[in-house]
Amino acid sequence: QVQLQESGPGLVKPSETLSLSCSISGVSIRSYYWSWIRQPPGKGLEWIGYISYSGSPDYDPSLKSRVTISVDTSKNQFSLKVDSVTAADTAVYYCARHGPGSAIDHWGQGTHVTVSS
């Protein structure tokens, strides 16, 4: 069965770079599209962006200047980097799977990231 697992530091200092990975099991990263979504405390879901292994990533315009999503096919995982973080980047970060032009059908369990000195 398909499983997604986020990993990375739970605490990041302001102005530094947040780095998360999503390990995929049960399916090849070469299939499907792969997204990052976040949820600030007590708030709704925010789409960050997505990537396919063969295509260019697509980002939310509000984050585009600070975000990089990349794929590592050798490890069957994909990654998220957010530069110059502030307290506003504190959130639960989810990785997720979807088909081209289709809904998210698998989510990781989410990982809490706090931005604080």
Partner 1 sequence: DIVLTQSPGTLSLSPGERATLSCRASQSVSSSYLAWYQQQPGQTPRLLMSDASRRATGIPDRFSGSGSGTDFTLTISRLEPEDFAVYYCQQFSSSPHAFGQGTKLEIK
Task: Return residues touching partner 1 (CB under 8 A).
Answer: 35, 37, 44-47, 49-50, 58-61, 94, 98, 101-105, 107-110
Cβ proximity of 110 and 94 under 8 Å? yes
What are residue 114's DSSP bridge partners? Answer: 11
Q: Between 58 and 83, whose beta carbon lies closer to partner 1?
A: 58
Q: How far is the CB of 47 from partner 1 (least distance, A)?
A: 5
Q: How far is the CB of 44 from partner 1 (least distance, A)?
A: 4
User: Can you give the three-state secondary structure of the chain, one letter per residue?
Assistant: CCEEEEECCCEECCCCCEEEEEEEECCCCCCCEEEEEEECCCCCCEEEEEECCCCCCEECCCCCCCEEEEEECCCCEEEEEECCCCHHHCEEEEEEEECCCCCEEEECCCEEEEECC
Q: How far is the CB of 109 from partner 1 (least distance, A)?
A: 6
Q: Between 16 and 46, whose beta carbon lies closer to partner 1?
A: 46
Q: Between 72 and 105, whose beta carbon lies closer to partner 1?
A: 105
Q: How far is the CB of 93 from partner 1 (least distance, A)?
A: 12
Q: Between 12 and 93, whose beta carbon lies closer to partner 1?
A: 93
